[in-house]
A and B are shown apart, each in its own frame.
Chain A
Amino acid sequence: MNKIFALAGVVIKELYRRKDFYVLFVLTALLTLAAGAVNFFHDDKIVRYVKDICLLLIWVSALVISVVTTARQIPAEREARTIFPLLAKPVSRWHVIVGKFLGCWLATGVALVVFYFFFAAITGSKEQIWPWGAYLEAVWMHWVMLAIVIAMVLLGSIYFAAPSSTSTITIIVVGGVLLLGTHLNTIALQQPQPMQSILATVYFLMPHLEWYDLRDFVVYDMGLVPVRAVALATLYGAVWTAIFLLLAWFGFRRKSLNT
């Protein structure tokens, strides 16, 4: 495990030494602050609308940070040829994949905690309510969803040549799943065969990232999601993450290290 943690440590160090992370972070913080500072907090509808916008911003920022950071990990190792002295140590390609995953996931987790803490501080200071349980569940589910996304990006980065291609494709796929995921089975039922079967198969085979979106629970004060549901969603997320990581390892195992 020390090899995986060492690799994850390097990923985190690289991330906090890069300027683009801070730019996105500061931008999100400023927009959240600006939204929170608007003095509409006497109207419930506007309060919810502003909270919704802030959470959407957090979702977009966290997605961009996780995708962009992860997409460049393996290609950068191969391009800068740092993979050679690394694999000349007692490090397997599985260690590299898992170490990169862990580093990106932990870094994204830190960013999420800061984003949500900032959001909670702004809304709490205005509304004087502190639903910490709902926030905790929202952060946890969001983070589990990002684990699936990060593993998916790692898999893409093994097969696509450029990090930009991996980032673009993943953002489109994730966006598609988040927007269509809940409706795809309904849409499938309205289609003639064989489209109905195809869409139904896609629905049952795709990772349901939309299940992790608890923004409405936070915005509309809908209380807490049952712990059992959170645990099942976590297990579901772990299985998808493991599938993507195994596929990434399988591809990386056969991949030439030269670019």
Chain B
Amino acid sequence: MTAILRTEKLRVEYRSREMRQQTKVALAGLDLEVGAGEVFGFLGPNGAGKTTTMNILLGFVPLTSGSASLFGIDVRQPIARQRIGYLPELTYYYKFLTAEELLRFYAKIFGLARHEADQRIAELLKLVELEHAAKRPIKSYSKGMQQRVGLAQSLINNPDLLILDEPTSGLDPLGRMKVREIIQRLKEQGKTVFFSSHELGEVETVCDRVAIVHQGELKAVGTVAEITAGHENLEKAFLKIVGVQNSPLP
């Protein structure tokens, strides 16, 4: 298995305002490897270090020590992101642009030739069912439509690795189904998908392997079958691993 996403002893510390500028450890030596063609679920409770890991991989925050690479290139190099697509949890796009203009902008960023960009934009607008609204400003879109634009932009460069941050958060059942379909399709095409989610049922359905982080440390990694061995389902295994034995609710 060729690792296309790798972190070694990844440590991230930052000064917390809440803690009167004391150092807070967000990640404490995370070792992670994701192989080509895998659908990899990245799980953990809130504050576990999932978003920090993604932020490191995407070059948003600096790492304190250790290393992180994509396709063997240090994540601090912008070129490491040439073959990835990223879908944030919420829609953060230029809302004065139309969907077509936004996709064209990102196509230019990736250096796609005009005819190639035209073809790719048409394909993606069809895929996310936004052809009818392609020339309308994004600010006039519903939340679901904006999420679909997000999905389209994450695929503009036909990425080999797709990083999804809570991809189905806030989506209606149809939207969730669409995202699952797309993940499935990418998997069939041999693409790698790395995603964080709190929807454990969904993770169980689509993932080849999962990792569970808690308090900045990797607690478990393996196939879904390996993680759930001896447990009723992934949710029970997850709760056991992060140290919650019983539900506080009756």
Binding site for B on A (CB under 8 A): 2-3, 5-6, 9-10, 13-14, 17-18, 80-92, 95, 256-257
A6-B109, A89-B106 known, 17 other contacts, Cβ within 8 Å: A2-B108, A5-B108, A14-B94, A18-B96, A82-B93, A85-B86, A87-B59, A87-B60, A88-B59, A88-B88, A88-B163, A90-B80, A90-B110, A91-B78, A91-B109, A257-B60, A257-B61
Cα A6 to Cα B156 with chains together (Å)? 15
The answer to whether A80 touches B79, judged by C-beta atoms less than 8 angstroms apart, is: no
A–B pairs, 15, beta carbons within 8 Å: A3-B111, A6-B109, A10-B94, A13-B101, A81-B90, A82-B93, A84-B58, A84-B60, A87-B58, A87-B60, A88-B60, A88-B88, A89-B109, A91-B78, A91-B109
Chain A nearest CB, measured from B28 CB (Å): 21
Partner of B96, one of A13, A88, A89: A13
- Interface status of B97 (Cβ within 8 A of chain A): yes
Chain A nearest CB, measured from B55 CB (Å): 9
Binding site for A on B (CB under 8 A): 58-61, 78-82, 84, 86, 88, 90, 92-97, 101, 105-106, 108-111, 150, 153, 163
The answer to whether B78 touches A88, judged by C-beta atoms less than 8 angstroms apart, is: no
Residues of A within 8 A of B150 (CB): 85
The answer to whether A9 touches B105, judged by C-beta atoms less than 8 angstroms apart, is: yes
The answer to whether B88 touches A92, judged by C-beta atoms less than 8 angstroms apart, is: no
The answer to whether B97 touches A6, judged by C-beta atoms less than 8 angstroms apart, is: no
The answer to whether A82 touches B94, judged by C-beta atoms less than 8 angstroms apart, is: yes
Partner of B109, one of A83, A90, A257: A90
Cα A88 to Cα B88 with chains together (Å)? 10
The binding surface of chain A is classed by DSSP as helix
Q: Considering only CB atoms, which chain B residue lies closest to A14 in the complex?
A: B96
Residues of B within 8 A of A82 (CB): 92-94
Cα A80 to Cα B88 with chains together (Å)? 13
Partner of A85, one of B93, B96, B111: B93
Cα A190 to Cα B101 with chains together (Å)? 59
Known: A13-B97, A13-B101, A82-B92. A88 touches B84 (CB 8 A): yes
The answer to whether A89 touches B101, judged by C-beta atoms less than 8 angstroms apart, is: no
The answer to whether B93 touches A3, judged by C-beta atoms less than 8 angstroms apart, is: no
Cα A13 to Cα B59 with chains together (Å)? 27
Residues of B within 8 A of A91 (CB): 78, 81, 109
Cα A95 to Cα B79 with chains together (Å)? 13
The answer to whether B92 touches A85, judged by C-beta atoms less than 8 angstroms apart, is: yes
Residues of B within 8 A of A83 (CB): 92
Known: A2-B111, A13-B101, A91-B78. A84 touches B92 (CB 8 A): yes
Q: Considering only CB atoms, which chain B residue lies closest to A88 in the complex?
A: B86
Residues of B within 8 A of A95 (CB): 78
The answer to whether B110 touches A89, judged by C-beta atoms less than 8 angstroms apart, is: yes
Residues of A within 8 A of B153 (CB): 85
Chain B nearest CB, measured from A10 CB (Å): 6
* A-B pairs with lowest CB-CB distance, top 4: A6-B108, A88-B86, A81-B92, A92-B78
Cα A77 to Cα B61 with chains together (Å)? 16
Cα A87 to Cα B80 with chains together (Å)? 11
Residues of A within 8 A of B84 (CB): 88
Residues of B within 8 A of A17 (CB): 96
Cα A83 to Cα B61 with chains together (Å)? 13
Chain B nearest CB, measured from A18 CB (Å): 8
Cα A80 to Cα B146 with chains together (Å)? 14
Known: A81-B90, A88-B86, A89-B81. A10 touches B60 (CB 8 A): no
